[in-house]
Structure 1
Amino acid sequence: MAALREILDGAVRGVFPPTDGGTTVLPQPSPRHAGVLAFTAHSVVVTDEDPAWVYEALRGPDCDPLAAALHPRFLTALLERTGRRAETVDAVLAATPLPGAPPLALTEIRDAGHPRIRYARERREAVRAWRAAGGVLVTGRGMAGRLEVSVEVDEAARERGLGRLLAGAARHLVGEPLWAQVAPGNARSLRAFQAAGYASVGAELLLQPPASAEDARVTQ
């Protein structure tokens, strides 16, 4: 059985789990990270729960086997069993790094109290952030240590291609693949990441620890 990081690294290269309509259950890489990752005709459930329970819960009568792991019925059961909190189901994109300097001027943000940094630190480790004129990009390590990126464009600077430039700039700041999670309905953000060279690799729902446990970790 491939480890979670092997599956993620393969997806960046275009090598995906078998399209067999099956589900793989893997243990959490850390107490913090759990969730469901969906690829073409194969899902990966990341949890420390008993795999036998997961497979049984996936057999609901109204669950399409090809998408059962992201069906609301299964996700509700998983949340109730684990006591975790749900994020949104996101489209997941990935891109490889690029050489050279970023295509726009960036200044690293050192203020740990910055709203985007605070938000990212609730979900990621080793968070860094940069500001450009009209926007912010943030990187940090998430599920299985993968490097994740998010961007935010100020309202006054929208509709000018800045989101695409920020997403592309992130590829010049790192030496490894980058992952981006985007709400499927956020067409503007999806188009920006795709225009910056990020390719769709699947979908996922990340499960956050119970509020009390997460709050204690963040305040340490």
Structure 2
Amino acid sequence: MSGTLRGILEAAARGVFPPPDGGVTVVRQHSPRDAGVLAFTAHSVVFTDEDEGWVRAALGALDCDGLAAAMNPRFLAGFMERTGRANDTVDQLSVAGPLPGPAPLALTETDALAHPRIATSRRRRDEVRAWTADGGLLVLGRGVGGRLEAAVEVDEDARHRGLGRALATAARHLTTEAVWAQVAAGNARSARAFQAAGYRPVGAEALLIAREG
């Protein structure tokens, strides 16, 4: 298994995962911005610039199933306190390969930086680009480990028409590399859209972000 966060993610995009041995791998952050935990089947990856000894001591102090220790709320709370970071949610992590040809709907690139979805992406990703469609928005940018991440938004009056799926599919036509999606575990509508667009779930992620202000 690669010893870097980027290498682990690139392998996962190819369907190659850490061994399901109940273990925890600790790697350095890819960038100062992103720290957190990846949970694959029976193996977790903690990416942080904190001392590995602290990570393993904090995990060892938990009275819980070792398979879930790195996603245990008490560990995450301690991780946040240690680093001064915050966490919004635990996301389902999915990935899909690129597709040839044009996108399945008309897209117009936009630089509407004040749009909330674009503004959030610019705080959490690099090289952000955005496209509008009739009733929707697609954003691509480089996030955790330098991976290409997609986010979509559908207007309320444009829902139930397959637009979310079309936007998620369009992301695969706009690149020549794997595209990742982070979806909150409770956001079933978004999860269905990405799965219908061919994204396969590979794990879960708790991203720790720097507190604003």
| TM-score exceeds 0.5 | yes
Distance 1:100 1:61 in 2: 50
Partner of 1:96: 97
- Residue 119 of structure 1 deviates from its aligned partner by 1.2
The equivalences for 1:54-93 within 5 A come to 54-93=55-94
Partners in 1 of 2:200 and 2:188 — Cα distance?
14
**Equivalent position SS for 2:55:** helix
Q: Tell me whether 1:106 sits opposite 2:107 in the alignment.
A: yes
Contact 2:62-2:69 within 8 A present in 1 as well:
no
Letter paired with 2:141: G
Gaps of 5+ in 2: none
User: Are 2:38 and 2:205, in contact at CA under 8 Å, matched by a contact in 1?
Assistant: yes
Residues 70-96 of structure 1 deviation map (CA, whole Å, 9 limit, x = unaligned): 000100111111111112100000000
The CA RMSD over aligned residues, in Å, is: 1.0
How many pairs does the alignment contain?
212
Deviations 1:91-136 (A, max 9, x none): 0000000000000000001222222211111111111100000100
The AA in structure 2 aligned to 1:199 is R
Give me the whole-angstrom Cα distance separating, in 2, the residues matched to 1:211 and 1:191. Answer: 31
Identify unmatched segments of 5+ residues in structure 1. 213-220
How far, CA to CA, are the matches of 1:4 and 1:186 in structure 2?
A: 26
Residue in 2 that maps onto 1:193: 194
SS of 1:87's equivalent in the other structure is: coil
Alignment match, 2:208 = 207
Change (3 A) 1:209 1:61: closer
Whole-Å separation in 2 of the counterparts to 1:202 and 1:210? 25
Q: C-alpha distance in 2, partners of 1:85/1:161?
A: 33
CA distance in 2, matches of 1:211, 1:119: 12
Equivalent in the alignment of 2:19? 18
State how 1:98-137 maps to structure 2 within 5 Å.
98-137=99-138
Letter in 2 for 1:83: G
TM-score computed with the length of structure 1 as normaliser: 0.94
Moved over 3 A (4+): none
- Decide whether aligned partners of structure 1 residues 210 and 131 sit closer, same or farther in structure 2, where only a CA change above 3 A counts: same
Distance 1:152 1:184 in 2: 17
Distance 1:194 1:210 in 2: 31
TM-score by length of 2: 0.97
Which secondary structure state, in structure 2, belongs to the residue aligned with residue 58 of structure 1? helix
Residue equivalent to 1:2: 3
1:97 alignment partner, SS class: coil
CA drift of 1:29 comes to 1.2
Is contact 2:136-2:154 (8 Å) kept? yes
Q: Percent sequence identity over matched residues?
A: 65
> What's the counterpart of residue 28 of structure 1?
29
